[in-house]
Amino acid sequence: MRNGGVSFWWQQVGLPVPTDRLEGDASCDVAVVGGGLTGLWTAYYLHEADPTLDIRVLEAEFAGFGASGRNGGWLSSELAGSARTYAAVAGEDGVQRLRDALRGTVDEVIGVAAREGVEADIVRSGVLTVARSEAQRQRLGGKLTAGQVADRVRVAGAVSGHFDPDCARVHPARLVSGVARVVRERGVRIHEGTRVTSVSPGTVVTERGTVRAPVVLRCLEGFTAGLAGHRRDWLPMNSAIVVTAPLTDAQWGDIGWDGAELLGDEAHAYCYAQRTADGRIAMGGRGVPYRFGSRTDVDGRTQDRTVEQLRATLTTLFPSLAGVRLEHAWCGVLGVPRDWSASVAYDAATGLGHAGGYVGSGLTATNLAGRTLRDLVLGHDTDLTRLPWSGHRVRRWEPEPLRWAGVHALYGLYRAADRREDAGLGRTSRIARVAHRVAGR
Ligand SMILES: Cc1cc2nc3c(=O)[nH]c(=O)nc-3n(C[C@H](O)[C@H](O)[C@H](O)COP(=O)(O)OP(=O)(O)OC[C@H]3O[C@@H](n4cnc5c(N)ncnc54)[C@H](O)[C@@H]3O)c2cc1C
């Protein structure tokens, strides 16, 4: 089994060689820091709105090196934040507007991909979430009976389920490399192999020169902590994925997973899975949640015990796949703000903006954030700029070693809560409620 190499998705399409490195100082109208989907969508929509803008993306490795090229491929309409937090600033109506905007964004991404010729194995397949205990059933509140769940996918021990049709399966590396291609074709320069070391009004300092721009947008999500002055903004939360060898028709028949629906569960240490276009299961979960000092991995290599945990989850859900070969494992970081809620912000006085902190639901949210940043930068007052995550402020994470100890304790609590619920507790464990309070969710 291969471990690392950025991700299975990138190995499948071929790892890109960084191009167009910055050569000395430069100036432009808009400097975008980070070449993941947040940065690329922002560049795409800004250029579309005003093709005369000189926009440059500054990327440490290659476009899509981060979470955007490593994720589980769930183009979902999940909130990317806490409903309670957004309701506190914008009421229930604000939360609903954000939900509706994210639902619409699934269509937007599918539409742009079709128009621009981005082939990313996209299928609007919906997502099936299963409950495997009474406590999970109560939390999920799904309408599907055990029998209806089994009609879609035969998950061992499923007692109920929920099906959300507003979700699509994608191939992450194909999507992000496609968007990068389109942006380049429009004339936006993506300076790869160009690491940014600091950002201030009008100035982006990189290891290869300084870029002056009246607008500077920080789009680093899980890598934000690596930038001077931002170590405690968003926690780089780790997530890991394993992918199986292609399953045989008999194996697919055994588990009854005929369609391309995404699959997840309602455990506190939840898992997420997709049936890939070439007939494998890619299954992800938390693994080791956080590295001391907000460090990130180098090339996606994950710990052996995380691989074993994911193998155990796979065979718990599908006992008939006990002997199946895992071909690849990798991990990546996503950004978690202290209140578990994403934000998009721009200050016209300084020209500084940012977007991210999508807590694991960034694939759709990056597109909505890109369009919102466009409106904010252009000074347009729109429905997007009035969404509750726009200008949302959040306090910083605790300093180390509190941060490390807190996050590891938290995930210990979630694992303990899952064990008690799996043992037949019959309701959500109090331990999980305590963990939620500690987390600030
Ligand atoms: C394993 C995993 C599974 C996930 N699964 C899903 C899923 O199924 N559905 C979903 O909605 N979300 C998922 N997410 C979250 C989602 O992928 C992210 O929220 C989203 O891709 C964030 O995009 P981004 O552009 O903001 O950040 P990234 O894609 O991380 O991009 C940041 C970029 O900045 C670059 N960079 C870093 N430091 C510097 C620097 N100093 N200077 C210049 N450039 C720098 C990086 O190389 C990277 O390319 C998952 C995340 C992970 C890690």
Q: Please tell me the predicted confidence (pLDDT) of residue 292.
A: 83
Q: Which of 358, 367, 372, 389 to mutate to test the pocket of ligand 1 (most atoms within 8 A of CB)?
A: 358
For 332, residues 6+ apart whose C-beta sits below 8 A from its C-beta are 7, 66, 67, 70, 71, 222, 238, 239, 240, 297, 300
pLDDT at 294: 80
Q: Report the C-alpha gap between 329 and 311 in whole angstroms.
A: 10
Do residues 218 and 226 make contact, with C-beta atoms less than 8 angstroms apart? no
Residue 348 phi/psi, 5-degree rounding, is -65, -25
Q: How far apart are CA 286 and CA 271, in angstroms?
A: 8
CB of residue 247 inside a 6 A radius of ligand 1? no
Whole-number Å distance, alpha carbon 372 to ligand 1 midpoint, is 18
For ligand 1, the distance from its centroid to the CA atom of residue 427, given in whole angstroms, is: 34
**pLDDT for the residue numbered 336:** 93
Q: Is 176 in the pocket of ligand 1 (CB under 6 A)?
A: no
- Domains: count for the chain: 1
**Ligand 1 pocket member 271 (CB < 6 A):** no
264 lines ligand 1 (CB under 6 A): no
CA of 363 to the centre of ligand 1 (A): 9
**In the prediction, which pLDDT does 299 show?**
92
pLDDT for residue 406: 85
What residues contact 364, with CB distance under 8 A and at least 6 apart?
75, 76, 77, 78, 80, 102, 105, 106, 109
- Ligand 1 geometric centre to CA of 36 (Å): 6
pLDDT of residue 414: 87
Write down the pLDDT at residue 429.
86
CA of 407 to the centre of ligand 1 (A): 20
Ligand 1 pocket check for 196: Cβ under 6 Å:
yes
Is there an atom of ligand 1 within 6 Å of 239 CB?
yes
Looking at ligand 1, which atom is closest to the CA of residue 72?
A: 8
The residue segments making up the domain with residue 166 are 2-439
What atom in ligand 1 is closest to the CA of residue 172?
17
HEC profile of the chain: CEECCCCHHHHHHCCCCCCCCCCCCEECCEEEECCCHHHHHHHHHHHHHCCCCCEEEECCCCCCCCHHHCCCCEECCCCCCCHHHHHHHHHHHHHHHHHHHHHHHHHHHHHHHHHHCCCCCCECCCEEEEECCHHHHHHHCCCEEHHHHHHHCCCCCCCEEEEECCCEECCHHHHHHHHHHHHHHCCCEEECCCCEEEEECCEEEECCEEEECCEEEECCHHHHHHCCCCCCCEEEEEEEEEEECCCCHHHHHHHCCCCCCEEEECCCCCCEEEECCCCCEEEEECCCCCCHHHCCCCCCCCCHHHHHHHHHHHHHHCHHHCCCCEEEEEEEEEEEECCCCCEEEEECCCCEEEEECCCCCHHHHHHHHHHHHHHHHHCCCCCCCCCCCECCCCCCCCCCCHHHHHHHHHHHHHHHHHHHHHCCCCCCCHHHHHHHHHHCC
- Where residue 26 sits, what CATH number does that domain have? 3.50.50.60
Ligand 1 closest atom vs CA 38: 25
Q: Is 358 in the pocket of ligand 1 (CB under 6 A)?
A: yes
Mean pLDDT by runs of 10 across the 441 residues of the chain is 97 97 98 98 98 98 98 95 92 96 98 98 97 94 94 97 96 98 98 97 98 98 94 93 98 96 92 97 86 84 94 96 97 94 97 96 97 98 97 91 86 87 86 79 71
- pLDDT for 352 equals 98
> Distance (Å, rounded) from C-alpha 435 to C-alpha 407?
10
pTM of the model: 0.97
Residue nearest to atom 20 of ligand 1 (CA): 362
Cα separation, 391 vs 344, whole angstroms:
6
